[in-house]
Structure 1
């Protein structure tokens, strides 16, 4: 498996280094033959090349099997004409990474903010919705009509609704076989109505999977009150963005939330959090989100190839993270006593100690 690794901005290089150590350890133990190719994007690329993402980098990523993207200071990239391209948006759009898969679960040893332990996954549509940079062939989908009036457009398409619903139901088949479709069809009758229609059509192909439908505002209350009732949650882009941060924080820290952006041919591991420049270089950043995201990338590859080794490797990383957190071998924000580098090293050591895959 050939992976492009882009460390990013702020704490990105630190947590990416920890993640690379984990990937190298799991590759050795499970015989994956991972080939990691390092490059740059973000501020370092802007300084060296005048753009945050070089055009040739996209072709290199397309030729690889996956991408590990460190956190980027996307809020600072405001002018594409001056090279300030949002790398996250750029790869999601150009690689058609339509499914943002965001697990959230509680961990023994971590104080969480939920009323009970839970284990769920938010499956978020990633290519349309209310996001102004993903709705138009050129330009944005926000218009300043007068100095005091802005109109924002939302694009919802039947094919995108169908494929995100299918991704959710396929995932549910590997879990507890329940999908919750989150919507606002009582107000957004056409767009969210279309989303629900496609969820119901796909549900008919998966009779083993139960389908629930919940309005977004009610969902926010239910997931706080009883998160354990949910298994796979599927929704449109902006609702998924909000819900995935909420559920990650309920688990104890957004630093425990993995995230993979997946398409039919490409996938990108990406931490659920930002670049946190205020703690960059201090060996304090939690690397677990990116490590768990890398595990999801291996699992995506396993599903794509039907590979037992990559699937086992993904689960081994997840188990090593859980064991390390329970033992206090993690960063302080999740109750541990180690720095960024040492957290990655302890997880890598746990993986090296595992028996080889038979």
Structure 2
């Protein structure tokens, strides 16, 4: 299988335009056209992981965290990032990362946490905006139904749990065909009025090329009139963090024991007991302090995440419990998710979870 085929599948699941501006997800090293012999999956790309791929004759390493975040001016092997890149390049091993784009989809990193905690009615805590566009086009009445179906098949018309959504208004269009035309209706040199339907539908920005190709291939007119508008609407299924409800409310101590068990953690840094039972829970894999105000505004009783600084714990202000379970610990099941995503599509593809613990933090208890 070509690497590009696998990448296409991963990026349909978690599109690259869903990543944060600071991020560097995607193919970091390697040729998209190379044939891949197998993939090693890990949370972090370390030399030991690359060595493991070499030992299994795999030429692809897939990680959650990108080994390269910033531009590199030299490759001299002076640090672990450069050593990993040099070893990968020398051994023709491709490196691919899916980071905040996988964080942002509801069936991604945070969805895994919600599932492990059994949260009900889980939804995105802070939905993203600027990910949607609107297509407006004009089509003869008789062909409008066929065109709508083609646009829906290309991925347009989804609003939350609804599909095939569009708005349609009837009117008439005018045009005069020139000498070098082959008009669908009317005659050359004469103004023609055609009963038409104005069709409006939305689509994810990353599908623009696919939707436009469908429009141009299925519209009956020789020259297709259309408009595309960027939308600031929030996309409810994409964004940072998630929030949901426990099946049963819990006292704080019971909740913390529950989280330790379900998330396989040895310790939790947390704020004081608010005196309320825990029922509504916000989560964010990795560094999530930037979402505290969103968790408070959503009425969360607890917020499970990682990397809170000392003074940031005060910001809970007794209104919710911050439960910092550790960065690695909050994302440790992401590797299993990646394997599941790939095996569902390519069940015979050779893929393995690294045997190395890539957590750089050790605990003395």
TM-score by length of 1: 0.29
Q: Compare the two structures and name the one with the higher strand fraction.
A: 2
Which structure ranks higher in relative contact order (CA pairs < 8 Å, sequence separation ≥ 6)?
Answer: 1
Rg larger in structure: 2
Q: Compare the two structures and name the one with the higher helix fraction.
A: 1
TM-score by length of 2: 0.28
